[in-house]
Amino acid sequence: MNKYSKLALGLSIALLAAGCSDDSGSDNVAVLPQPEQPQEQQPLALPQSQLESSWFKVGQQAVARAQAQTINNTPGAAKNIILFIGDGMGISTVTAARILAGQQQGLDGEEYQLSFEKMPFAGLVKTYNTNQQTPDSAGTATAIMTGVKTKAGVINVDETVPRGDCAASKQRPLTTVLELAEGQGKSTGIISTARVTHATPAATYAKVPDRDWEYKVTDGDCTDIAAQLVALNAGDGIDVIMGGGRRNFLPSSETDAEGAAGKREDGRNLVDEWLDRYNDGVTNAVYIEDQTGFNALDVAGTDKLLGLFNPSHMHYEADRGNDTAGEPSLSEMTAKGLELLSKNDKGYFLMVEGGRIDHGHHAGSAYNALTDAVELAEAVQVAMDKTSAEDTLIIVTADHSHVMTIAGYPTRGNPILGKVITNDGSGQPEETPALAADGLPYTTLGYTTGRGHADYGETADADERYGHEIDTGRKDLTNVDTTAPGYHQEALIPTSAETHGGEDVGVWARGPGAHWVTGTNEQSYLFHVMARAGGLLD
Ligand SMILES: [Zn+2]
C-alpha cells in the first residue's frame, strides 16, 4: 500500500465515522480537511543491503544486457543455421544437467548456466504429435524439419499417411529445411550420437511411413532410410554426415572394423556406393570410421565426409572411452563439421543431435542422460565460439521430454544424483538423508515409468539395464552410492523402458531471427523461424 491509498483509506474511515455520529453528516463532510495534493513522486529508496545483494546486481546486469540486445529483423540474414536437438532433453533434464555441470566445476550448481542458457532468446514448444498427446521422435523431428506436425512413427510424410503404408507415403512427402538449404547451394551436415538413420537425423533427409525402415522396408517398393541418404537428390547431397549406424549401410555378409555384421539383406554396400557417387573426379569424398581416421582428416582436401563410428548408436559420452575402435565426442564432431561446412561462401545448414540423452532416460539412468546433455551443451559452446551472431542462427531445443522429476527439498548444492538431504533452516545440511514416510531415504531424481532401480557400480553404459529384470518400487538405498555411473533411479510404474513425457520443451536461440523464438508455439513453428531467418523459401 502506498501513501496515497493509505490517505484514501483514512478519509473513508473518517467519512464513515462522521456518518455514524451525526445525522447532518453532509455538513461534517464539508469541513473535513482536503487531502494534500500529491507532491512530485519520489522514487522509493531501496535499502543499501538490497542494492548490494549479488542477486540484485546479477538481475540488473541481465536486464541491461537484454536492453542492449540488437535485433536483426531482416529475413535471410542468417547465412548459416545450426540446429541442436537434445533428444529427450526436457526442462527437468536441462535443470539437472545445469546443476551437474556446475557441481563438476566445484560450484553449488543451481546458479550455473549451460552454454545455450546464455543465449538472449528462449521460448516454449508444444511437442504433441497429431495422433499422440505424448510424442515420439519421428513425428516431432518432422515438425521441426518441415513445418508440418504429423503422426508418431512417420518421417516427413503428413498425418494422412497410415504408419507403414508405402503407397500413401509417396503421395504426401514433405520437403525439409536441409533440402531447401541444399537447393540454395548451401552446404549441409548432420551429426548425431545416434545412428544417422535414426528418427531425428533421418528427418533431415528421408521420407518414410515407418521410422523402423532404417535398412529394409516391409511394405511396397519404398526405399529404406540408409539407401535414401546415399541417393538423396537435393543440391549436391549432404556434405557432412557423422554418427553411428554403420550396420545399416553394410550387407549382412560383411563384418565391420569393430566385428559387427551388416544388417542389409539386399547385398548392397552403401558406403562403397556413397564413395563411388561423390568421388566423381571433381569432389573428394572421404569415409572414416574411427578416432584415428577422424584425427587424420584433411579438412581442406575433403568435400564430402561420411563418418560412421559405430555399428549401432555411438557410445554414451561417459562410456566413450570403452569404444573398440575409438570415436570422437559430439563436441569434437561439431567442431570438425563446422570447419568443413564453413568452406562454402553461401553458408550452411547443420543439424547436431545429442541422440543418447533420450536413451539414458529410457534405460532409467539419469547419470547417462545428464552427462550426455552436458556434452550437448559443450557442442553448442563450440558452435557459439566458432561462429558469429551477425550471420549465424543457432537454435537449441529438444524434440520431447521424459518423465524424470527433481523431487523433495534437497539443500542447496546437494549432489544432483544424490539422496535428498535437507537443511535445518539456517542452511546447515542435516547429517543424514531425509527419510520418506516409509522410513527410507530417496533420491532427488526419479522416474514415473521404467525398468526401475538397479546398481551397476562403475558401469557407464545405461543399456546394461535391459539385460536385467524390471524392478520398480521402493528400495533401501541407505548403503547405495546413487551418484555412481551405474546407478539407475527408482521408478513407480513398470514399463519395458522409461517413457517420454508430454509437457512442453524449451527452445533457445542466438543470431539473426533468434528473437522470433519467443512465447509458446507449436513445434512446427521452428521450421518457419529457420526458413525465414535463412531466406530458404525466397
Ligand atoms: Zn525416446
- Domain match, 479 and 528 both: no
CA of 137 to the centre of ligand 1 (A): 6
- pLDDT score of 143: 98
Q: Output the nine-digit C-alpha cell for 410.
A: 534437497
CA of 251 to the centre of ligand 1 (A): 27
Render pLDDT for 389-408 as a digit per residue (tens, 0 to 9). 999 999 999 999 999 999 99
Q: Cell numbers 516427413 label which residue?
A: 156
- Domain match, 91 and 176 both: yes
- The closest alpha carbon to 498, from 446, 461, 538, belongs to 446
CA of 211 to the centre of ligand 1 (A): 12
What is the average pLDDT across 515-529? Answer: 98
- Domain match, 217 and 255 both: yes
Point out the least confidently predicted range of 32-41, 293-302, 479-488: 32-41
Render pLDDT for 114-150 as a digit per residue (tens, 0 to 9). 999 999 999 999 999 999 999 999 999 999 999 999 9
Q: Cell numbers 537443511 label which residue?
A: 423
Residue 366 lies in a domain: yes
Residue 3's pLDDT band (cuts 50, 70, 90) = very low
Do the annotations mark residue 468 as ligand-binding? no
Percent of the chain at pLDDT > 70 equals 93
Distances (CA, A) of 367 to 99, 462, 469: 12, 8, 20
Residue 152 lies in a domain: yes
Residue 178 lies in a domain: yes
Residue 480 lies in a domain: yes
- The closest alpha carbon to 87, from 171, 163, 194, belongs to 194
CA of 126 to the centre of ligand 1 (A): 16
Query: Residue 412 is inside which H or E element, if any?
Result: none
Give the span between the Cα atoms of 193 and 201, in whole angstroms: 10
- Domain match, 509 and 486 both: no
- The closest alpha carbon to 148, from 173, 171, 166, 178, belongs to 173
CA of 355 to the centre of ligand 1 (A): 9
Q: What is the mean pLDDT of the chain?
A: 93
What is the average pLDDT across 320-343? Answer: 96
Q: Is 196 helix (H, G, I), strand (E, B) or coil?
A: coil
- Non-local (6+) Cβ contacts of 278 within 8 A are 237, 285, 303, 304
- Domain match, 384 and 489 both: no
- Domain match, 162 and 267 both: yes
- Domain match, 316 and 463 both: no
Point out the least confidently predicted range of 45-49, 184-188, 417-421, 425-429: 425-429
CA of 138 to the centre of ligand 1 (A): 10
- pLDDT score of 205: 98
Residue 21 lies in a domain: no
Give the span between the Cα atoms of 242 and 36, in whole angstroms: 75
DSSP for 240-284, please give it. EEEEE-GGGGSBTT-B-TTSPBP-BSS---HHHHHHHHH-SSSS-
Query: Which tops the pLDDT comparison, 32 or 491?
Result: 491
Do the annotations mark residue 361 as ligand-binding? no
- Domain match, 438 and 397 both: no
- Non-local (6+) Cβ contacts of 264 within 8 A are 215, 216, 226, 248, 249, 250, 251, 252, 270
- Domain match, 485 and 509 both: no
Distances (CA, A) of 202 to 112, 142, 152, 229, 537: 33, 9, 14, 8, 21
Whether the CB-CB separation of 299 and 239 falls below 8 Å is answered with no
Residue 310 maps to which CATH number?
3.40.720.10
- pLDDT score of 43: 80
Angle at which helices 330-341 and 366-386 pack, to 10 degrees? 30
Do the annotations mark residue 358 as ligand-binding? yes
CA of 312 to the centre of ligand 1 (A): 15
Residue 25 lies in a domain: no
For residue 326, is pLDDT > 70? yes
Render pLDDT for 202-259 as a digit per residue (tens, 0 to 9). 999 999 999 999 999 999 999 999 999 999 999 999 999 999 999 999 999 999 989 9
Q: Output the nine-digit C-alpha cell for 249.
A: 549401410
- Domain match, 451 and 509 both: no
- Domain match, 86 and 156 both: yes
CA 488 to chain centre: 21
- pLDDT score of 5: 41
Point out the least confidently predicted range of 210-214, 263-267, 320-324, 407-411: 320-324
Render pLDDT for 14-70 as a digit per residue (tens, 0 to 9). 434 443 444 444 444 556 666 666 667 788 899 999 999 999 999 999 999 999 999
Could you list the active site residues?
137
Residue type, 452: G
- Non-local (6+) Cβ contacts of 113 within 8 A are 98
- Domain match, 387 and 362 both: yes
DSSP for 120-185, please give it. SEEEEEE--BTTBSS--HHHHHHHHHHS----TT-BSB-TTSPTT-HHHHHHSB---HHHHHHHTT
Do the annotations mark residue 400 as ligand-binding? yes
Point out the least confidently predicted range of 212-216, 322-326, 490-494: 322-326
Residue 11 lies in a domain: no
Do the annotations mark residue 455 as ligand-binding? no
Give me the residues paired with residue 500 across strands.
Answer: 402
Whether the CB-CB separation of 286 and 306 falls below 8 Å is answered with yes
Render pLDDT for 446-478 as a digit per residue (tens, 0 to 9). 999 999 999 999 999 999 999 999 999 999 999
Host domain of residue 415: 405-498
- pLDDT score of 180: 98
For residue 12, is pLDDT > 70? no
- pLDDT score of 154: 98
Residue 65 lies in a domain: no
User: How many domains does the structure of the chain reveal?
Assistant: 2
